[in-house]
């Protein structure tokens, strides 16, 4: 069976090493789904695949062993999963995914499960998913609930790290020093004791919420408004892997989504379509155009919170390979 592999990949099927067979990639925004969808994925794997399911590094599912001629049947079975998970799907029912360019939005378990997390990572992931999908550009976005960074967000194009602006209620404080102790031992010593009262250094504070958890009398509480640390342009790969750098501290939900959408416009303007597979990593585009040009596009019409701190310009290090021999 002749197959247009470019179309196949766009429809979120993978080219595999087994001739005549493919694998279906299933998006799970935020890595969380109702258990009822697992039986639907099992049906696809048992009926058209090899009876196995791979959990991808980006928290999606991949069903291998699907014959090319069965892709349309698999797309029909995918439809209730696509609809149930709220994936944007403006195309006719039963034709599968419109794109696989923007990778599944990955997230840690968030504050529905973890006491350390400062926000609902899954819901934010779904908000980003609705804004960016479908899109053919190769973006990677990940969210983590706190600076512990269980999701390793600094290895993504956009890393979103939950923060809280701790609120201190002096009338509840018993001067035990628990908040100062935990901040000194586990974090960055942003709290000091003065006249037997804790004082927080806003510039040093990571917004982790450790003081909130440690306080025995609820004198520290998480802020009602959610804030985030936005890291940008981390990447793996062969050529020049590097960690993302912190760009904006105390940024809000809406500004992050606007910046991501602005970056799509920036990439459309400057991407080198002659790159292998027609894909050029955003970081390499920034290296080529300069950070200031990226920043101009990314911050267009963005209104940051008054407490936001923007680090500019950004410089990245990373591993650089040099050609040693001519063959």
**Positive or negative: CA dihedral 10, 13, 17, 19:** negative
Q: Give the N- to C-terminal CA distance of the chain in Å, as an integer.
A: 39
Beta bridge partners of 310: 248
pLDDT at residue number 327: 45
For residues 227 and 205, the answer to whether their CB atoms sit within 8 Å is no
Residue 161 phi, psi (nearest 5): -115, 125
5-84 shares its CATH topology with 167-221: yes
Long-range contacts of the stretch 289-294 (C-beta < 8 A, 24+): 291/315, 293/266, 294/263, 294/266
The domain locations on the chain are 5-84, 106-163+226-310, 167-221
For residues 81 and 25, the answer to whether their CB atoms sit within 8 Å is no
Residues 6+ apart with CB under 8 A from 217: 172, 173, 174, 176
pLDDT at residue number 277: 67
Half-sphere exposure of 17 (CA within 13 A, CB side): 0
Residue 203 phi, psi (nearest 5): -70, -35
The architecture of the domain spanning 167-221 is 2-Layer Sandwich (3.30)
pLDDT-flagged residues of the chain (< 50)? 327
At 132-161, the pLDDT tens digits run 988 889 899 999 999 999 999 999 999 999
d(CA 285, CA 238): 16
pTM of the model: 0.92
pLDDT at residue number 102: 87
At 30-79, the pLDDT tens digits run 999 999 999 999 999 999 999 999 999 999 999 999 999 999 999 999 99
Sheet strand arrangement including 21-26: 13-15, 21-26, 61-67, 54-55
Q: What's the topology of domain 5-84?
A: Alpha-Beta Plaits (3.30.70)
Report how far apart, in Å, the C-alpha atoms of 172 and of each of 112, 222, 298 are.
27, 15, 43
CATH superfamily placement of domain 106-163+226-310: Sulfite Reductase Hemoprotein, domain 1 (3.30.413.10)
pLDDT at residue number 294: 97
Where are the alpha helices (H) located in 49-119, listed in sequence order?
Answer: 71-84
Query: Token pair of 246, please?
Result: 């912190």
In 3D space, the residue among 159, 32, 139 whose CA is nearest the CA of residue 86 turns out to be: 32
């Amino acid at each position: 069976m002749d197959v247009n592999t470019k179309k196949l990949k766009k429809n979120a099927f993978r080219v595999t090493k087994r001739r005549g067979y493919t694998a279906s990639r299933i998006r799970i925004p935020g890595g969380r789904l109702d258990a009822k969808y697992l039986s639907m994925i099992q049906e696809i794997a048992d009926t058209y695949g090899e009876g196995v399911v791979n959990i991808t590094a980006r928290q999606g599912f991949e069903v291998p062993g699907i014959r090319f001629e069965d892709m349309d049947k698999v797309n029909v079975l995918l439809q209730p999963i696509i609809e149930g998970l709220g994936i944007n799907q403006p195309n006719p029912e039963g034709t599968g995914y419109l794109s696989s360019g923007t990778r599944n939005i990955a997230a840690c378990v968030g504050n529905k499960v973890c006491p350390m997390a400062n926000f609902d990572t899954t819901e934010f992931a779904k908000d980003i998913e609705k804004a960016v999908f479908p899109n053919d550009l190769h973006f990677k976005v990940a969210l983590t609930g706190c600076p512990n960074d269980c999701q390793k967000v600094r290895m993504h194009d956009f890393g979103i790290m939950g923060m809280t602006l701790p609120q201190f209620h002096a009338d509840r404080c018993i001067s035990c020093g628990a908040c100062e102790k935990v901040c000194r031992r586990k974090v960055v010593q942003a709290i000091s004791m003065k006249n037997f009262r804790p004082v927080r250094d806003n510039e040093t504070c990571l917004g982790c919420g450790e003081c909130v958890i440690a306080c025995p009398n609820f004198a520290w509480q998480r802020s009602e408004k959610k804030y985030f640390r936005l890291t940008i342009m981390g990447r793996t790969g062969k050529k020049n892997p590097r960690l993302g750098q912190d760009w904006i501290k105390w940024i809000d939900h809406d500004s992050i989504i606007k910046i991501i959408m602005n970056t799509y416009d920036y990439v459309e303007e400057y991407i080198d379509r002659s790159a292998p597979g027609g894909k050029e990593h955003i970081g390499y585009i920034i290296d080529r155009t300069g950070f200031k040009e990226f920043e101009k596009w990314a911050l267009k019409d963005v209104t940051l919170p008054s407490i936001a701190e923007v680090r500019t310009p950004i410089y990245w290090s990373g591993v650089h390979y040099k050609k040693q021999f001519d063959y």
